Amino acid sequence: MGRGWLRKPDVWGTEPVPVEKRNLRAVDLGILWFSLGLGLLVLFTGALLVQIWGLSLFEVLVVAVAGSVIGSLMLAAAGTTGSRHGVPTMVSLRPILGHRASWIPSGFNSLQLLGWASFEFMIMGLGLSLISGPFLGSATVYLWIAILGVWVTLLALGGPLVVVRVWLEKAAVWLVLVSAAWLTYVVVTHAAFAPNFLVPSGSGDRPLGLALDLVIVMPISWWPLIADYNRFARGPGESFVGTFLGYTLSNSWFYFLGAGLLVVYGLVGTGPGSDPVSFITAIVGTGLGSLVLLLIIVDETDNAFANVYSTAVSAQNIAPRAGQRSLILATALASIIAGSVLAAFLDVFLSVYEGFLFLIGGVFVPLLGVIVADRFVRPAYRDEEFGTEGARANPVALGAWAVGAAVYFAIAGVGLGATVALVPSFLPSPVGASLPAFVAAALAHAAGTKLAAPFARRASA
């Protein structure tokens, strides 16, 4: 990888990573995915389970663990093909969807990652401006977003191996572990924790199944980019174990911690459950709050790194000749600008965030069902299928994906905020939308592939 980070580390686009470069162990990937499961946005989303769904802390704990286990199993399963063949996630879809049809999820993924990077810059910039105080008045937050943008860009240019081996393992993950452990201690020892553990907030009116979806969607939002990092794993087994254990632990922990913060500080029914600024202010108000918040933000830069880096990698699946470093710089700049706009108009964020999460679930949960089913229908892929020699599109896989998406949106609906229902929910489900959509897409793909097999054999004869 050269002598150092700034000496142009190896760049891996759509081409397979050589076997000798695949040296990340299960513990390395566990640290990476543990760290990616932590962050202010995860805390904030956990608070929504109390504020909007009206769950008790016990119910949040159950939903957070169950959703994290289900979502992390899906996430870990999504990375095995990429780690086996050394290719990024969007390239690993070529044998399943077709090399041209894989452009569709690549486009969706680039858009969702730009959204996530913008959200990350916004919330980290707001957090740092609360810690530092408004020393530049209203411009303070924009200065912090710009500084964060430069750091994240350097991480993205360094690449996954540098971020895991140098940044996370030697510094960032230990800082956030200490801060999160202290914040957890503050919450669980608070006088209001035990008396309110089993008491619902009483302010929510959403189905419990959709609360499960709100947890599942966080690991699901990562699966379209998992192999961008897990292709450096020593093998599929280490990829699966490290990802599952690391992400399950951190996602469960931070969803519950976010809900606990809201409850013990008496913020249920007030702004902080739906207002990120007030929620971050609540963290600052805890013991050692500013230091805790700072350490969380320091670690959270790896989330923004992953979003920026993988936007470039996903774009290369569509335009493989595009330079990865140029795409990283363009993505970082666009995310910095979008994050600054969101910081200036927070109502935009508040009105779209929940709908954004469910939209991600509706697009990517059923596609994962197709991928998992294809592994049983056709467990081995030829190396050339990861290039452009295979079929341009697989109508069966695309149709199954559409079936699963229809099931998801029929159950969850999708909208902008609480009052704008772009797709209303009309199909009840006690387990939410993710599991039915996953199963529907998987069964549709398996059945469609079996029915289409005789026609495929005749066409190839």
Say how many domains are in the chain: 1
Q: What's residue 205's pLDDT?
A: 63
- For residue 321, give its domain range: 22-350
Q: Per-residue pLDDT tens for 213-262? A: 999 999 999 999 999 999 999 999 999 999 999 999 999 999 999 999 88
Q: What's residue 8's pLDDT?
A: 59
| CB hemisphere CA count around 428 (13 angstroms) | 4
What DSSP line would sit under 318-339, residue for residue? H-TTS-HHHHHHHHHHHHHHHH
Q: Read off the pLDDT band of 4 (50, 70, 90).
A: very low
Q: Is residue 306 part of a domain?
A: yes
Report, as an integer, the average pLDDT of 121-130: 95
Q: Per-residue pLDDT tens for 94-111? A: 999 999 999 999 999 999
Q: Is residue 174 part of a domain?
A: yes
Q: Is residue 442 part of a domain?
A: no
Q: Is residue 290 part of a domain?
A: yes
Q: Is residue 441 part of a domain?
A: no
Res 305 pLDDT > 90: yes
If you ran DSSP here, which 8-state letter would residue 423 be given? E
Q: Which residues of 151-183 are buried (b: 16+ CB within 10 A; e: fewer)?
A: ebbbbbbbbbbbbbbebbbeebbeebbebbebb
Host H or E run for residue 422: strand 420-423
Q: Read off the pLDDT band of 422 (50, 70, 90).
A: low
- Range from 78-92, 107-121, 286-300 carrying the lowest mean pLDDT: 286-300
Q: Read off the pLDDT band of 153 (50, 70, 90).
A: very high
Q: Is residue 56 part of a domain?
A: yes
What DSSP line would sit under 348-416, residue for residue? HHHHHHHHHHHHHHHHHHHHHHHHHHHHHHS----GGGGTTSS-S--HHHHHHHHHHHHHHHHHH-EEE
Cα 5–chain centre separation: 26
Q: Per-residue pLDDT tens for 444-457? A: 999 999 988 776 55
Nearest by Cα to 444 from 407, 390, 410, 412: 407
Q: Is residue 452 part of a domain?
A: no
Q: What's residue 127's pLDDT?
A: 94
Q: Per-residue pLDDT tens for 385-418? A: 888 877 899 999 999 999 999 999 999 887 755 5
Q: Is residue 443 part of a domain?
A: no
What's this model's pTM, rounded to 2 decimal places?
Answer: 0.90
We report the CATH number of the domain holding residue 72 as: 1.10.4160.10
Partnered with residue 423 across adjacent β-strands are 414
